[in-house]
Chain A
Amino acid sequence: MTNQTQLPLEDQIRKAVQSVEPNREFSNDLWNQIASRARQPRPRSLFQKLFPTPAWSAATVLIAVALIVAVVGPQKVVEAVSSLFGYLPGVGFVQRGDGTLYLPEPVSMEQNGVTLIVDQAVSDGNSLVVSYHFSNLPEGKPDEGAPCFYDRNQIRLPDGKLRLPIGGGAHGSQAQVIFPALTEGVDHFTLLASMDIPDERCTAPAEWAVDVTLVPMPLDMTLMPVFEGEEIEQPVVVEAKIETNAAEGSQSMFDVSFAMDRVAKMDDGYLVTGHVVWSDERLENIWVSPEDVAVTDAAGKSLTIEPTEEGTQDNNFAFKIKTLSFQQPLTIQIKSVYVVGALEESDGATFSFEAGADPQVGQSWELNQDLDVLGQKIHLRSARVVEEENSENTPTRAKGYAFELETSPQVNNIFFHCTSLAKPQSSWGEGRELEGGIKQVNYYSDELPTGKVEFQINQIHFRVDGTWQMQWQLPVE
């Protein structure tokens, strides 16, 4: 809002507003309440941590049937190399053109014997990618993990404004962090790296600030060739339907399309990126893991696939074909997808029970209710009042409900939301697998819901196995 004053009254209103200051103690307390949640993994992550993908989906029972419609369009060998993009190892896809800036040579900063080296930084029309690593960073004891982890990265622009990452991150002593693109006319920034929660075992400096100046990328700079555009996407779009019949008497169909976006030729193979498209709004995301991609050539030879460092956020996927030698066309098979479903309150998947006015720890209720959540059958066995275990992060022990449930092995995560709370509260949870394939999900909130409590399963993660398959003429030079 501008402060352009048109009437004296406006000034008076503004003065009145600005004379009201929130209590600083309240501000800090509230933030610390949020931060205690932010520093822990989100409830979903906590649950996921205890149930990493293989834990619930190790069984090979195929409960989901995938209908495959491979569309092999009129193939044409694409010889045209993208004039818009090139691939720069360590950075990724880079837009060619006048506006693209890069770091002509690494810059470094030394503090207390430790050096931060910015290896590369490129800003194009899409983003600013900064790759850096530390040299001589103290190492922790073998079983204790790295003591110095610079997970808080920002850039400071010449006008003092800060920019936060929109992707990437630190991995050990290396980092590739993605920021919003520099605006036109800005070629300088300061990389700020620090530890969000300083570790007392780390003897290296807690904060780093490295000045970085970029220069225009020469138009003839050598980049790996990239193929993209209509020639890439059109022939390989696969209109697939994911049909789940896990829930007896119900069926869910999700229309899904896979499309290839870009191919970068590298020294030892091809980097392929693509994306998944779907129409069902209840699906929040569909992930394709490189491990679930198989490629064979026309002679039936299975090609080696490698995960790639290329960012695979949201509905994008990427994999690397680790060879330059194969017979076209290729057959690309996607063997499994990971579906994240998010339900609104109007989508159902609710259940309730009468907990009474003062439920006690250990008190339990038989639920025996069946829910169909996006085609996944969930059998709720029971609910029990539990108390959170003591930990450093939870000095006060919250009470909550532990739900025992049965699902198919394909279901990896389930998240509960209490819809009967009088006011919104922060909630969190955890899960574990009990004997006999029974799963337990603990739900905690600031105050234990009482009376007639109603819960909703508002998020579910599950794997759908299938063999979506397409033939593809990989564009080559």
Chain B
Amino acid sequence: MTETVVLDMEQKNYLDDDEMLVTAAQHNPVEFRQLYLKWFKRIYRYFYFRVANEKDAEDLTSQVFLKVYEDLPRYRSRGCFSAWLFRIAHARVVDFYRSRSRAVALDGIEQPEVSPDLLSQSAQKDDVCQVLRMIHQLPADEQELIRLRFMAELSYREIGEVLNRKEDAVRKSLSRLLERMQLQMEVHHD
């Protein structure tokens, strides 16, 4: 390696079409940087809110991007790139918990407690802590919906692709889930 590149993470808004970015990266591997810029933070946050500590989130993020870079030449557009990306991410999390010999929950994941590491980063501690605790008390499939929607910032359609569900079903599930959580929070406040 002859050069160290410091990334401008704020560049992400200038390039928005995944399929174009993928085609460009397949054409010239150096252009993978654009996909990286766009998805790095979202993948990291998706993992961070799942494993609840920085080190493991970084490790998983590294694994995903190395895997995606390696497999990108073989990627063919069969839906959407984000779905492919987050299926890889999901598989890494499954491996992560398997390798730690934990009990396997419904979707292969045991949920971690909210860690001090996670909470210490939050600027708006009180309400945020409450929200995070609520999320972590949800069943695994509902947590995944929240993470894909808010941490990964996926659209309903993209979430549907990841979870193999219809877009409308995702929209309804999330809507009901958020309403329920909102009610719980209000009751808690009262």
A residues at B contact (CB < 8 Å): 1, 6-10, 12-17, 19-24, 26-28, 30-39, 42, 44, 151-152, 160-167, 169, 180, 196-197, 284, 342, 392-393, 395, 422-427
Contacts and interface: CB of A to CB of B under 8 A. Distances in A.
Nearest to B34: A164
Given A20-B122, A39-B29, A424-B63, 16 more contacts: A1-B154, A10-B150, A19-B122, A22-B45, A32-B4, A33-B62, A36-B1, A39-B1, A44-B73, A151-B28, A164-B15, A164-B34, A165-B28, A166-B27, A196-B30, A197-B3
Contact of A424 (B41, B67, B99, B146): B67
Given A162-B15, A425-B66, A427-B70, A22 B41 contact: yes
Chain A interface, >50% SS class: mixed
A424 B151 CA distance: 23
Given A16-B132, A35-B1, A160 B14 contact: yes
B185 interface: yes
Nearest to A30: B62
A17 B63 contact: no
Interface string B1-37: 1111111010000111100110110011111111010
Interface string B105-142: 00000000000001001111001100110010000000
B167 interface: no
A28 B7 CA distance: 6
B44 interface: yes
A393 B54 contact: no
A13 B65 contact: no
A342 B31 CA distance: 23
A34 B146 CA distance: 29
A165 B27 contact: yes
Contact of A167 (B6, B27, B99, B178): B27
A423 B70 contact: no
A13 B57 CA distance: 19
10 contacts: A15-B123, A16-B122, A20-B121, A22-B40, A31-B5, A32-B5, A34-B32, A38-B33, A169-B28, A426-B69
Contacts of B86: none
Given A13-B150, A35-B5, A164 B21 contact: yes
B48 interface: yes
**Range of interface residues on chain B?**
35 or more
A443 to B, nearest CB: 13
A12 B4 contact: no
Contact of A422 (B49, B99, B122, B123): B99
Contact of B14 (A12, A161, A424): A161
A271 to B, nearest CB: 23
Contacts of B15: 161-164
A127 to B, nearest CB: 11
A423 B14 contact: no
Given A17-B151, A164-B24, A27 B48 contact: no
Contacts of B5: 28, 31-32, 35
B94 interface: no
A196 B33 CA distance: 12
Contacts of B121: 19-21
A24 to B, nearest CB: 8
B23 A166 contact: yes
B34 A34 contact: no
Given A1-B153, A6-B178, A180 B36 contact: no
B124 A16 contact: yes
Nearest to B9: A27
Contacts of A393: 1-2
Contacts of B7: 27-28, 31
Given A35-B33, A38-B29, A164-B21, A7 B99 contact: no
B179 interface: yes
Contacts of B1: 32, 35-36, 39, 393, 395
Contact of A9 (B24, B67, B73, B178): B178
